[in-house]
Chains A and B, each alone.
Chain A
Amino acid sequence: MASPAVPVRSRVPGLPWWSLVVVAAALFVVYAVLQENGVALGQVAQVVHEFFHDGRHALGVPCH
């Protein structure tokens, strides 16, 4: 970026390939908690759904 007058050195590294795996796994966890209705987890989904039910509504995710 050309705009800042004083460039501040960042200590952040480049990304390894497995960062994609991390993101995919994290998004799956979010999906399992907030959206899973039986497609990926089958029978367990009902339990997961009921347990996290308040959280789904509270975070504004569509729910029945």
Chain B
Amino acid sequence: MATHSYPGLLARGAGAGAIAGVAAGMVSLFVVETQIRAALAVEEARNAGAVGHEEMFSRGVQVVGGVAAVVVVGIALGAVFATAFAAVHRHLPGGSDFGRSVALAAVGFAAVGLLPAIKYPANPPGVGQAETVNDRTVLYFSLILGGLIIAYGVGRLHGLLAARTSWPAPWRATAVAAAAAAAVIAVLLVWPAGPDAVPPDVPATLLWRFRLASLAEVLTLWAVLGVAFGLLTEAPKSGRGAEAGNPDPVRGDYQGRGLR
């Protein structure tokens, strides 16, 4: 039987999320902030002469806030991740809890990180129009919802094909991948374009670098979450892998290699 309780799993999710948040926070601190600084310089030049509004926090505090944001989001995401893992792990590929964790993180990144980054890419400060923020928010979150529905549908389709057909595994995988690609293309075409034009004083290189940096931060968050949760869930506690109720040759092998 299971040796992880749900609270235990949840604690691992939160822990893995904290680790992932700190890792992504380092990307924020050393990579994204460089581009935010450049964008703020553009914004400042644009507003030169105008009556500037007083900032509530200094730049230094906001940089710390940027790291804190992704750490807090990482912990919360880890809790959701652990719950989702408990709910769907039977249907995930990977052959072990580590593999399943990485697979779930890959799906999460694709649906929640990559898909919106393609359709509504990140913008540095000074690009978005305040009047369109509600429209953009609805588009953004509905797209993520669409991505999650596709991910769920793809999983269901794979299960159906496995149960109802005698197709060999590569055929099944190809059919599922083709269906996923078609669904993603359809969603990208159906969802309307983002409403904001990029202001002409924002350099294309700045925009490109900021978007790459932002995607790197999101990718770091998901990748480290998947790997850390996988390690925390898979690695046996001392002696427990040898329990009679847990006769797992794979885990025994891991123990032999001393992975803790």
A contacts, CB < 8 Å to B: 1-4, 6, 8-16, 19, 22-23, 25-27, 29-30, 33-35, 46-47, 50-64
CA distance A53 to B17 in the complex (A): 20
Complex: chain B residue closest to A60, CB-CB:
B122
Identify the interface centre among B5, B76, B121, B215: most chain A CB within 10 Å of its CB. Answer: B76
Q: Which residues of A contact B65 (CB under 8 A)?
A: 50-55
CA distance A1 to B94 in the complex (A): 12
Q: Are A55 and B66 in contact (CB under 8 A)?
A: yes
B contacts, CB < 8 Å to A: 2-6, 9-10, 28, 32-33, 36, 55-57, 61-63, 65-70, 72-73, 75-77, 79-80, 83, 85-87, 89-91, 93, 95-97, 100, 113, 116-117, 120-125, 128-130, 133, 136-137, 139-140, 159, 162-163, 169, 172, 211, 213-215, 217-218, 233, 246-248, 250
CA distance A35 to B69 in the complex (A): 11
Q: Are B56 and A33 in contact (CB under 8 A)?
A: no
Task: Summarize B's interface: helix, strand, loop or mixed.
Answer: helix
CA distance A13 to B1 in the complex (A): 8
Complex: chain A residue closest to B249, CB-CB:
A6
Q: Are B116 and A60 in contact (CB under 8 A)?
A: yes
